[in-house]
Amino acid sequence: MLFRSKKMKKLLLCFIASGMLFSSSINAQREQNQVVVSAGMGYSIGQALLKAILNATLEASGTNTVSSIPIINVMADYGITENFSLGVAYSFNKFSWSDSIIDTSGVISSVDLSAARHNIGVRPLFHFGNNEKVDLYTGARLGTSIWALSGSATDSQGNSTGASTDIPTGVVTVQALFGVRTYFTDVIGANFEVGIGNAPYFVAGGLSFKF
């Protein structure tokens, strides 16, 4: 019994020591004052639905379908502490379409229209662990969007006109973030994020660079 008791105590001490070692290994994620810059593309369910609705509407009226570019993302995160960072983010996406119209005098004009969204936000993030190759994090993105609308028309006689305007939406965009970065080298890696909310993207990915 005494032997078993001593053996159990050793196993318990080993378990506690292993737990303390594991806890300390995941305590810190990144270096303080470190900057990580990420760039890539994203996909938005809202944008896909809007594009589908516009396409259905325009096709019914005989207009050309809408084209779009993928959501472009650029982020920079600064390490406040080993586990907490604060960053800024910018996202851009654009819709465009063209049509031909005939005015009352019978002049045919080619019309090009576009709507671009600029979203700017801040992103506080909490990071898990100190693995140099894998960075798991969660956080939020708070920002707002500005829509830039533009249009131009050129008639069959070569006359052209154009106009553009910026429309601040005044709507605060809120997004819960869950992400991971995997580094190939000490400074270059790939990133993947899932965002839940009314911010620019639902999923996004790209490259990250440590500075």
State both tokens at 157. Answer: 């006689």
What are the pLDDT digits (tens) for 180-197?
A: 999 999 899 999 999 998
State both tokens at 84. Answer: 């907490």
Task: Answer whether 207's CB lies under 8 Å from 191's CB.
Answer: yes
What are the pLDDT digits (tens) for 70-126?
A: 899 999 999 999 899 999 999 998 888 776 666 666 666 677 778 888 999 999 999
Q: What is the pLDDT of residue 49?
A: 81
Q: What is the pLDDT of residue 117?
A: 87
pLDDT band, very low/low/confident/very high, at 62 (cuts 50, 70, 90)? low
Amino acid at 73: N
Torsion, CA 171, CA 145, CA 209, CA 193, rounded to 10: 60
3-state SS class at 21: helix
Q: For residues 157-167, give the mean pLDDT.
A: 67
pLDDT band, very low/low/confident/very high, at 66 (cuts 50, 70, 90)? confident
